[in-house]
Structure 1
Amino acid sequence: MVVSLETHSNTMTVIKKVAIFGASGNFGTPITSALVSAGFDVTIITRIESLSTFPPGIAIIKSEYTVERLTAALRGQDAAICVVGPAGNSTQEVMIDAAEAAGVERFIVNDFGWGPNFRSLPEFQQIGAQRRIAWERARELAEANPRFTYTGITIGNPIDWAIRRFPAMGFDIERRSAVIYDAGSEEFTGTTLEGIGQAVVGVLTHPDATANRFVKARSIQTNQNQLLDAFQRATGQAWEIRRESVKDRLESGRKKHEEGNGGWILDLLVYQLYEPGAARCIVAPGDDPDVELLEMREETPDDIVGKVLNAAASGDEK
């Protein structure tokens, strides 16, 4: 794939060669697959001590994560993507500095979450502040160097991955049981693992329109009731249903937060997702122009449930 990008100097460059950090992770795996399928020339950059395995046929560079070493590793790349896990997120500034020094045209920052303008609870402010450090560094370098650009991708709920991994979201696949919070009708937007890959490809396919900003991705807008109906259709059986209020999750999460119990994060995420009447987690409405720009495929609750059940049946933990 050859993608043209018109810079401020009206010269034309090409996004063909793409480096990715975190290629073996939950989101890195589908992103890497999508890039390869779209025809990009992909290089995986990983730590020297990494024991991760990668698909055959993809170039791999093992490097120390210093600006000097990563600048050398990134030289000749047109774009770089950071999708490392939380433990490696503190190194993102080094990656950004190295990418700019190496002449990389586009850096996709490690957001893949709720975005910079999300109305999060106060307990998440510290986490948000930590993430903004890298975003701000990318913005500063882009302002100083017009040939260096960045993009953040807001995905909302990573829906098929999250449902499979976190029964607290309301669906226990193994037990065929559901917890429906309040009326079960609070809507939210989500992006599947496949959709995350589509979004990255969309950014690199439309580099001019996605430069120096956060774009919004979505595969679906849905609610618990719709998903429950889809699960029961797909499995051909009535699920055991329990009713709870998200206010209990809010109280539990805040108590855990005060006690220093890490479990507070999931409790408060569930509250934010299903808070009645808040529409807090509709981060990409259906008429958002980014969804069309990124060429996102709209999915149904049955599509989502099919992906969740197929992943469960295959034992896929990602």
Structure 2
Amino acid sequence: MTTIQNVAVAGGTGNLGSYIVQALVAANFNVTVLTRPTSNSTNKLPTIRYQQTDYSPSSLSSVLQGQDALVCSLGVFGTLDQTHLIDACLNNGISRIVLSEFGNAPHQARLPELDFARTSKKAVLDYAIQKSSENPEFSWSALATGNFIDWAISRFPAEMGFCFPERKARIYDNGEERITGTCIRRIAEAVVGILKRPEETKNRFLRVRSLEASQNEILGAFEEVMGAKWTVEYVNSKEVLERAKEKLAKGDKGAVLDLVSVQLWQEGMGRSIVVSREEADNELLGIPEDDLRTVVKGILEDKF
């Protein structure tokens, strides 16, 4: 496989996409960010080429000329658009697509109420596998990262259980359920690792992690770093799940955040261990494990 140098990013101005773009630039890739004509994003860097597209075949052919790889960082409701992007790769001689899989691995157990996300991702993955088998010059990679843990704690303090400005914690069940997660900049670094090692990552679903912790351990880290005890509220995950189901029945989309909280933290379920340290692809992709207290310090420094 030829060296990858020119990389297009779909969703490159979004939450994760902006980190991926910055990491690619830092690694000396030539980066093109695809934006929709309706995009009003101001999160643009002067060293990057921005190309507008409506994602039609003709538009994609125009903006993808000369690219070696395409990285997809699309939200859950844009997942199925990737089938069109796979076709665009094939039509424009792009040898590698990195799918927008970031999150849990396909084998992981999940709440049935969250299956909608997996169903569309499976359809895209199956399509990528089919097309790569039919076209030997084309390949795909996907990356399971678990929770974007530093970003999630900062962005969704109530759902993750850590409202650090008020020093209040919302602990599910006994607080001992463990999850693996990956800090958002490490996810971006892992994408760089995939593109730097195209042969080793060809047609593979890779798994990474940068830390493993329980809610109690995260709470302990916050208390230690901030030098103060927190007020703790204990909640029953089964009750939260039932309330979320009632919200869903009423069409309340806010139920999804409650469901994700239960998916993560429900006692004894083991739904959110993406990979063990021994089986992770961290070494291949150049991803270190992060220290929990260092991560907490970073969250606090970013917010205060």
Question: For 1:179, what is the secondary structure of its paired residue?
Answer: strand
Structure-2 separation of matches of 1:87 and 1:273: 21
| Deviation at residue 105 of structure 1 after TM alignment | 0.9
Structure-2 separation of matches of 1:127 and 1:40: 31
| Range moving further from structure 2, 154-163 or 290-299 | 290-299
The residue type equivalent to 2:49 in the other structure is A
Aligned residue for 1:38? 27
| Deviation at residue 158 of structure 1 after TM alignment | 0.6
Q: Could you tell me whether the CA contact under 8 Å between 2:180 and 2:272 is conserved in 1?
A: yes
1:103 pairs with 2:93: yes
Structure-1 separation of matches of 2:264 and 2:77: 24
Equivalent of 1:142 in 111, 122, 132: 132
The residue type equivalent to 1:119 in the other structure is A
Question: For 1:180, what is the secondary structure of its paired residue?
Answer: strand
Task: Count residues in correspondence.
Answer: 302
Residues 244-269 of structure 1 deviation map (CA, whole Å, 9 limit, x = unaligned): 12122221122222222212211121
Structure-1 separation of matches of 2:116 and 2:39: 29
The residue type equivalent to 1:128 in the other structure is R
Aligned residue for 1:158? 148
Aligned residue for 2:197? 206
**1:1-318 to 2 correspondences below 5 Å:** 5=1, 13-53=2-42, 54-166=44-156, 167-313=158-304
Structure 1 residue runs of 4+, over 6 Å off?
Answer: none
Structure-1 separation of matches of 2:255 and 2:289: 32
Q: Could you tell me whether the CA contact under 8 Å between 2:144 and 2:208 is conserved in 1?
A: yes
| Deviation at residue 289 of structure 1 after TM alignment | 4.0
Structure-2 separation of matches of 1:48 and 1:282: 39
The residue type equivalent to 2:192 in the other structure is V
Structure-1 separation of matches of 2:80 and 2:67: 22
Q: Where does structure 2 lack aligned partners over 5 or more consecutive residues?
A: none
Q: Could you tell me whether the CA contact under 8 Å between 2:146 and 2:209 is conserved in 1?
A: yes
Residues 188-215 of structure 1 deviation map (CA, whole Å, 9 limit, x = unaligned): 1001111111110111122112111211
Identity %: 37
**TM-score normalised by structure 1 residue count:** 0.91
Structure-2 separation of matches of 1:118 and 1:72: 38
Q: Could you tell me whether the CA contact under 8 Å between 1:45 and 1:62 is conserved in 2?
A: yes
Residues 138-166 of structure 1 deviation map (CA, whole Å, 9 limit, x = unaligned): 12211110111011111111101111111
**TM-score normalised by structure 2 residue count:** 0.95
Q: Could you tell me whether the CA contact under 8 Å between 2:208 and 2:280 is conserved in 1?
A: no
* Structure-2 change in CA distance of 1:88 and 1:126 (3 Å): closer
Question: For 2:281, what is the secondary structure of its paired residue?
Answer: helix
| Deviation at residue 87 of structure 1 after TM alignment | 4.3
Aligned residue for 1:316? none
Q: Could you tell me whether the CA contact under 8 Å between 2:76 and 2:117 is conserved in 1?
A: no
